[in-house]
């Protein structure tokens, strides 16, 4: 049966179970969310949420033609920048299609398991994307996650510029720092809390014709950078193979696993050959491996992000000398 019009193909500001966002490459059809103009005006507003179909699929929040927030790439379980989704996947499993070499369409949607509370994903008129779940006890919608276009910490797209690293726990430094082996391009701009100029290398890479002395430093627990211009091969069997590909390519600046469903046996491969943009610390099971000159390893400097993860965010329980024996 052919239907001339289906409401699920025009989702307005709300994504319900069984609906989808994405693009069909044969027909050119795109599915996206568009906010209302105001709380009581359902005409199209200035915010929209789309599924990025270049690189790895990820959800993008736009204000007009300006990218304001991204969910992080899909890692086989959930979108990397929304780790809290792992806590309700048993009720609302995600479905991402098109992770093949030549897909006819790439889409994202979700379903609701039998007995799960009512839920909906909404982009509101203020530029906030959130999952709402109905609480039958209070008779009200509660938020399971919320991401805003005007977030002042680390959710604003590209807040710290190229090769910047945003730390939501570092309010005193304006949340922004540089990844290991980099420094601000303009110290004066950073003193004025203008971070979008980003960071530059402390030492040039040493790689010519596939021969190199460079090494990789892990940046742990992050929302992976924008993959729009990255190279993705979902069929790479291991993280070691991914590392070898990056190591052999002098243009490769960083790599990461694309799929974490194997637990310790990560698979798939993302290679970045362009600037690292929109990187932030998050309670994530994914790490970024950053290419640096071997000279960066001679001083044995350790990134604050690594210390924070190893100490449980400087938990008092991990202070040396506070331990005990039983």
Q: What is the pLDDT of residues 70-117, one digit of tens each?
A: 999 999 999 999 999 999 999 999 999 998 878 999 999 999 999 999
Residue 299: band (very low, low, confident or very high) from pLDDT cuts 50, 70, 90: low
Q: In the CATH hierarchy, which fold is given to the domain comprising 7-148?
A: Agglutinin, subunit A (2.90.10)
Q: What pLDDT, on a 0 to 100 scale, did the predictor assign at position 3?
A: 74
Angle, vertex CA 10, rays to CA 30 and CA 27, nearest 5: 30
Express each pLDDT in 111-137 by its tens digit. 999 999 999 999 999 999 999 999 999
Half-sphere exposure (Cβ direction) of 221: Cα atoms closer than 13 Å: 16
Express each pLDDT in 19-74 by its tens digit. 999 999 999 999 999 999 999 999 999 999 999 999 899 999 999 999 999 999 99
Long-range pairs of 103-107 with CB within 8 A, sequence gap ≥ 24: 103/25, 104/24, 104/25, 104/26, 105/22, 105/23, 105/24, 105/25, 105/26, 106/22, 106/23, 106/25, 106/51, 106/53, 106/57, 107/20, 107/21, 107/22, 107/23, 107/31, 107/51
CA distance 22 to 11: 12
Q: What pLDDT, on a 0 to 100 scale, did the predictor assign at position 286?
A: 92
Instruction: Provide mean pLDDT across the span 147-168.
Output: 89
Q: What pLDDT, on a 0 to 100 scale, did the predictor assign at position 300?
A: 52
Sequence spans of domains, the chain: 7-148, 164-311
CA distance 60 to 249: 29
Express each pLDDT in 179-208 by its tens digit. 999 999 999 999 999 999 999 999 999 999
Q: What pLDDT, on a 0 to 100 scale, did the predictor assign at position 308?
A: 56
The owner of tokens 């992000």 is: 305
Show the tokens assigned to 140. Answer: 């009200």
61 touches 129 (CB < 8 A): yes
CA distance 182 to 280: 15
This prediction's pTM? 0.86
């Amino acid at each position: 049966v052919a239907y001339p019009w289906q409401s699920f193909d025009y989702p307005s500001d709300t994504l319900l179970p069984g609906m989808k966002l994405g693009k069909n490459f044969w027909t050119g059809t795109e599915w996206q969310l568009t906010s209302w103009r105001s709380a009581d005006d359902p005409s199209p507003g200035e915010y929209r949420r789309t599924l990025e179909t270049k690189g790895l699929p990820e959800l993008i929040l736009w204000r007009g033609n300006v990218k304001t927030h991204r969910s992080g790439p899909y890692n086989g379980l959930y979108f990397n920048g929304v780790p809290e989704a792992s806590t309700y996947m048993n009720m609302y499993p995600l479905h991402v299609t098109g992770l093949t070499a030549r897909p006819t369409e790439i889409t994202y949607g979700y379903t609701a398991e039998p007995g799960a509370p009512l839920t909906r994903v909404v982009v509101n008129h203020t530029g906030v994307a959130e999952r709402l779940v109905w609480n039958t006890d209070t008779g009200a919608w509660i938020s399971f996650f919320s991401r805003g276009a005007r977030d002042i910490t680390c959710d604003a797209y590209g807040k710290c510029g190229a090769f910047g690293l945003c730390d939501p726990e570092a309010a005193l430094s304006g949340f922004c720092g540089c990844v290991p082996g980099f420094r601000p391009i303009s110290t004066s701009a950073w003193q004025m809390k203008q971070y979008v100029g980003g960071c530059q290398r402390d030492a040039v890479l040493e790689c010519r014709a596939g021969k190199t002395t460079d090494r990789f430093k892990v940046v742990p627990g992050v929302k992976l950078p924008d993959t729009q211009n990255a190279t993705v091969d979902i069929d790479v069997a291991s993280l070691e193979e991914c590392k070898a590909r990056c190591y052999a390519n002098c243009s490769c600046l960083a790599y990461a696993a694309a799929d974490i469903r194997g637990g310790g046996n990560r698979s798939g491969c993302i290679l970045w050959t362009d600037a690292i943009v929109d990187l932030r610390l998050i309670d994530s099971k994914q790490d970024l491996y950053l290419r640096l000159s071997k000279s960066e390893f001679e001083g044995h400097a350790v990134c604050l992000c690594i210390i924070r993860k190893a100490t449980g965010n400087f938990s008092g329980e991990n202070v040396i000398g506070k331990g005990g024996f039983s």
